[in-house]
Amino acid sequence: GVGKTTCGKYAASKMSQCEFYDLDMCIASSYKRRSPSEVLVMDLGNDRDRFFEASCVELDKIPKGINNNSNLCLVAVGAGSLESKSAKDWLSGFKTIFFDAPPCEVFSRNPHPYWKDRNLKDFVATEYSEDRKAIYNSATVFSVAFMTKDQAKEKFLDFLIKRILKT
């Protein structure tokens, strides 16, 4: 929805020493599903704690440190996967980037079939809760507000080079 995967894949395709992982897709693949929403509803009984556990299992599979010729490992992690202590502990050892956009813009980009009855107010209450704000506040902010996908991809690549890798 906000562009983590789009920008991460793009950066990895342009930077030879960059790896990219999408935690949501790692979870879905592990359960042989199309999306993490399917896993949550169909395999985990809509139990968020079990989903957080599945997130941690997948996070543990992602290499820690530099692999092969890689000097940058990007992991797209939705905030929902960060609400467990073990996921926060895992993340605390890394530089994190928060992709920021106004809630109404992010909501309009997220037409999840399992959330068809979800309205903007519910979305904001969950996605911008105090717990999530604490996660977001500990990260470096990258704003994708009002950008096209192509603009966001180019700006993110530039952001990585200038702010994260500092070259």
pTM metric for this prediction = 0.80
| pLDDT tens-digit series, residues 56-92 | 888 888 876 555 556 788 888 876 676 666 667 767 7
Q: Are 63 and 73 in contact (CB under 8 A)?
A: yes
DSSP secondary structure code for residue 22 in this structure: E
Tokens 């693949």 locate to 29
Give dist(CA 45, CA 69) in Å, integer: 40
Give dist(CA 140, CA 5) in Å, integer: 17
Mean pLDDT value across the chain: 82
Q: Are 57 and 149 in contact (CB under 8 A)?
A: no
DSSP secondary structure code for residue 67 in this structure: -
Tokens of 1: 């929805």
Per DSSP bridges, beta strands 97-100 and 18-22 are unpaired
Which pLDDT value is given to residue 167? 54
Strand partners, 21: 75
167 residues of the chain, pLDDT tens digit each? 788 999 999 999 998 888 899 988 999 999 999 888 889 889 998 887 888 888 888 888 887 655 555 678 888 887 667 666 666 776 777 778 888 888 888 888 776 655 667 788 888 887 888 877 777 777 888 999 999 999 999 999 999 988 887 75
- Does the CA dihedral 148-24-134-117 come out positive or negative? positive
DSSP string of 78-133, one letter each residue: -GGGG-SHHHHHHHTTS--EEEE--HHHHHHT---GGGTT--HHHHHHHHT-HHHH
Q: Which residues, including other chains, have CB under 8 Å from residue 146's CB and lie 6 or more apart?
A: 101, 105
